[in-house]
Chains A and B, each alone.
Chain A
């Protein structure tokens, strides 16, 4: 069966520090991968999505970047965090046979 791993679950980082959040998927190949941010427990903002290795689509200009170095690995990064980067970050995947998205448990990022 397919599973998605996202870590860490919580993270407190100072302003100006770098960020790396990792997401991996098991049990499937060539998934579509997504990073979302959820602010204040409400709407999900699509940050990045990827349909293949090295293929990243950015949805909004921001202080973040994404990379997909392997088929089932999706990384969210920042060189210098801002206070406004605080939020709940969710990774998700969709597959060729499964049209619905499956989500990781999320990372609560607090920038202080």
Chain B
């Protein structure tokens, strides 16, 4: 069965500094990996995905993620954080285009 681990409940970073939100996964076969962001009382918004190809994936709002097969990781990164990036971030994995499983989420807090 596939699973996702987000080891940090919360990440704190100062505005302008780089940020990393960690994600590791477990899946049989080739993984399809995703990052989503959630603002309070709203649905999830898609940020980026890795299906195949380049290990560095660029997405919305300046976010990027690096796929590392040997470490089974898919960490979310941004070179310079904004206060408006403060939200709840979810990593997700699927094996094929069916069952999509999410991690427990990481709260990102960017301080001015």
B interface, by DSSP: helix, strand, loop or mixed? Answer: strand
Check if B74 is an interface residue, CB within 8 A of chain A. no
Contact B97 A96 (CB under 8 A): yes
Contact B97 A44 (CB under 8 A): no
Least Cβ–Cβ distance between B7 and chain A, in angstroms: 13
Contact with B along A74-112 (1 / 0, CB 8 A): 000000000000001010101010011111111010000
Docked complex Cα distance between A104 and B42 (Å): 8
Number of A residues near B (Cβ < 8 Å) is: 26
Docked complex Cα distance between A17 and B45 (Å): 32
The closest CB in chain B to the CB of A101 belongs to B100
Number of B residues near A (Cβ < 8 Å) is: 25
A interface, by DSSP: helix, strand, loop or mixed? Answer: strand
Binds A, one of B15-23, B63-71, B77-85, B101-109: B101-109
Given contacts A32-B97, A42-B105, contact A99 B51 (CB under 8 A): yes
Given contacts A43-B105, A99-B49, A100-B49, contact A34 B41 (CB under 8 A): no
**Most chain A CB within a 10 A radius of its CB, from B40, B99, B103, B104:** B99
Check if B13 is an interface residue, CB within 8 A of chain A. no
Docked complex Cα distance between A108 and B43 (Å): 11
A residues with CB within 8 A of B: 6, 32, 34, 36, 41-44, 46, 49, 51, 57, 88, 90, 92, 94, 96, 99-106, 108
